[in-house]
Structure 1
Amino acid sequence: MNHAELLKEFDFFKVRDGRFRISLTSTCNARCWFCHNEGAVPPIEVENNKELQHKKHICSAEEYIMLVKGLIRLGISRLYFTGGEPLISPKLEPILATIPPHDPESFKVILATNGVLLNKKIHELKNKPIDKVKISLHAFSDESMWNVERLSCIEEVKESIRTARSIFPEVEINTLLMPENQHEILDIIQFARELKIDIEILELVWTDYNRPTYTDKRLSTNDLASELVLLGGNEKLSTPGIGVNLKIIEFENSSVKLMDNSLGSSYVGTCQTCSLRSACIEGFWSIRVDPEGYAQPCLLRTDLRVDLKPHLQKEGDLESFIPLWIGAFMKGEPMPDIFLEEGVF
């Protein structure tokens, strides 16, 4: 395969806001029943099955720093720090401290958190180069929060959202629509609207971990979208070119972004021949890096994981590897071992 063609695919990934989700830890203080833990074993599964184990925290802070620097040089426009719960990780602050001041138009640093620890950490984070905080709010009462996350601290999470709103340049709420919160979903949306922040409402994504309950638990956002239009919202569609197409309901000071399976997703070359495509509703939109230093482009296929650590030891190695690897995945060509054999690296 011509390298120029692979680099063209990688450029498309960048232009369409392709992102890296960098998991700093696979442990979490919540036990959400739907958690996919960025492709790692969810905490609730480890708790229920003692034979399972969390990902080992092999990737060092120095290797994460090398990763982030390389991704910035490559022009990746969205860098998410996730977990588990990233605020648990002692590596978060040293990594953030190395990110230079920047224009969010060039790239965005986004912290994805459940919000439980955010108020305790917020003053340590407020001067860090964080462009956006994405906070999960899957309930509006302690009873519902317990049913979803096995936590009962909803007021603390709401307060963390209010505080974050006053400190960080951008805050967004993230909510999964499910039977446990369906009766509160309009309250959650109203809370976001009162704070004048956007909210993204997700539909359940199938994984091996939620296989037994997927059919009963997955709810469509279609009726919710219609209800929001009746409340005065203006509907439009977002078709980013990678990942899930979204229905957006715009109000005067905030927007509700709705994942809707019926709108379809964008699939790349490798997806076309994938045996799991019928179960995949997200398409390709993100690279996930786990605490062991492995990256994978798909939640459903662990066979696509590649070890980034060998490319994090010397400046410039990552920049040679990532564009061709992502380009090959998008083109549906063999993974980078073929490039290694050809002596590209």
Structure 2
Amino acid sequence: MSTSLPLADRLNRPIGVLRLSLTARCNLACPYCCPDVEEPPGLLTLEQQIRVIRVATRLGVQTLRLTGGEPLLSRRLLPLLEAVAQARRDRSDPMAGLQAVALTSNGVLLSEPMARALRAAGLDRITISLDAAEGEAAARMAGLQGGAVAGERLVRQVQDGIAAACAAGFDPSRGELKLNAVIQRGINDDQLLPLAALARQQGMELRLIEYMDVGNRNQWTLDQVLPAAQMVERIHARWPLEPLGRPRGGTARRWRYGDGAGSIGVIASISEPFCGDCNRLRVTADGQAFTCLFSAEGTDLKPALASELQLEQAMRQLWQRRQDRYSEERDPGAAASTHAEMAYLGG
């Protein structure tokens, strides 16, 4: 286990989180995400994924988040978790420095057996994505045909997934189970209170995400962004909130309910950018490394995967030359720039 200081970039931001995508495929078709039908060629092998994680932890990563697409579609998920858990128990392995292993999922495939298997394999936390709590809006946000009936079915599936995760030992009161929602003005902002009510009933923290200009397929425009401050105002008017702030390196500014029924967080990368302490490295399922969610191109790590030494040199150089701060420099009036797609990057 390394005790050296984490690697820092040109703006003195230490590396802290590795978001590793396991697949670009998804069983939903959320319009803001636009997942691909097929995988990109040249997916990383299980051994290569483990090597990326080990080197990232040697450089200072303390949190591993597994993403997609929908990571529960990946047959490598459980073997990868088991390998990471074994390495975390070995004090001589850099992965022993991992403080948390997390997963982001839409929850549809989160059955009771799957939830138990994830817990047994060493997963610490799950974040479930659901952008509406009512049928018609849920279908629209998930790209489903069938209107309210399909949307209501989706909400039930996600609620069943939440129940399965709780039964498997993921405790919302300890932050081990959270709910994510992307909010678009005029599209699903009427779901703020229904989503908050659902999360309160489940004892889960609700994380509200401003609609972001990630990718180019979603035809993002600024007028579809509902600022986080307005989200908070609407919820506060129904259930009074008390501010908790945003921890350094965190993405969410948090509030707790005055009645003690949990908390919310808002991720305001449009209205309140947090580039100044962003500590995330993203690696796609095919081995492209991105130092910013809004990047156009990544750095291919596959040529360096022959050895841990080569990979460490490549990742070290990538982070040391990093100076991204897209959200702080965003010009809403400028022509749209090219970005990699959300489902490919893994969010």
TM-score tier (shorter): 0.7 to 0.9
Per-residue deviation at 1:85? Answer: 0.5
Decide whether aligned partners of structure 1 residues 107 and 210 sit closer, same or farther in structure 2, where only a CA change above 3 A counts.
same
Aligned to 2:92: none
Percent sequence identity over aligned pairs: 24
Contact preservation (8 Å) 1:243, 1:266 = no
Contact preservation (8 Å) 1:87, 1:113 = yes
Name the CA distance, whole Å, in 2 between partners of 1:214 and 1:142. Answer: 25
Show CA shifts across 1:57-77 (max 9, x none): 421111112112222333311
Aligned to 2:266: 258
Contact preservation (8 Å) 1:23, 1:291 = yes
Aligned to 1:173: 179
Decide whether aligned partners of structure 1 residues 55 and 76 sit closer, same or farther in structure 2, where only a CA change above 3 A counts.
same
Give the aligned residue type for 1:125: L
Aligned to 1:301: 295
Decide whether aligned partners of structure 1 residues 219 and 7 sit closer, same or farther in structure 2, where only a CA change above 3 A counts.
closer
Give the aligned residue type for 2:307: K
Per-residue deviation at 1:29? Answer: 0.5
Give the aligned residue type for 1:82: T
Q: Does 1:80 align with 2:65?
A: yes
Decide whether aligned partners of structure 1 residues 54 and 328 sit closer, same or farther in structure 2, where only a CA change above 3 A counts.
same
Contact preservation (8 Å) 2:101, 2:123 = yes
Aligned to 2:157: 156
Which runs of structure 2 are paired with 1:1-345 in the superposition (5 Å)? Answer: 7-9=7-9, 13-14=13-14, 18-35=16-33, 42-43=34-35, 46=36, 54-100=39-85, 102=88, 106-119=98-111, 121-151=114-144, 152=150, 153-166=154-167, 167-169=169-171, 170-178=176-184, 179-209=186-216, 212-230=219-237, 231-238=239-246, 240=248, 246-251=252-257, 252-260=260-268, 261-267=270-276, 284-303=278-297, 305-330=298-323
Give the aligned residue type for 1:262: S
Contact preservation (8 Å) 1:110, 1:133 = yes
Show CA shifts across 1:220-254 (max 9, x none): 232221233342210243162x575x432112252
Name the CA distance, whole Å, in 2 between partners of 1:100 and 1:147. Answer: 38
Superposition RMSD in Å: 3.0
Per-residue deviation at 1:331? Answer: 9.0
Aligned positions, number: 296
Contact preservation (8 Å) 2:22, 2:284 = yes
Name the CA distance, whole Å, in 1 between partners of 2:219 and 2:140. Answer: 17
Name the CA distance, whole Å, in 2 between partners of 1:298 and 1:288. Answer: 8
Q: Counterpart of 2:163 in 1: which secondary structure?
A: helix
Give the aligned residue type for 1:91: R
Contact preservation (8 Å) 2:10, 2:322 = no
Name the CA distance, whole Å, in 2 between partners of 1:301 and 1:324. Answer: 17
Contact preservation (8 Å) 1:140, 1:154 = yes
Name the CA distance, whole Å, in 2 between partners of 1:5 and 1:125. Answer: 31
Decide whether aligned partners of structure 1 residues 111 and 5 sit closer, same or farther in structure 2, where only a CA change above 3 A counts.
closer
Per-residue deviation at 1:55? Answer: 1.9
Contact preservation (8 Å) 1:76, 1:107 = no
Per-residue deviation at 1:317? Answer: 3.3
Give the aligned residue type for 1:168: F
Give the aligned residue type for 1:295: A
Contact preservation (8 Å) 1:6, 1:331 = no
Name the CA distance, whole Å, in 1 between partners of 2:16 and 2:244. Answer: 21
Give the aligned residue type for 1:302: A
Q: Counterpart of 1:98 in 2: which secondary structure?
A: helix
Per-residue deviation at 1:111? Answer: 0.6
Comparing 153-162 with 69-78, greater Cα deviation is found at 69-78
Decide whether aligned partners of structure 1 residues 10 and 193 sit closer, same or farther in structure 2, where only a CA change above 3 A counts.
farther
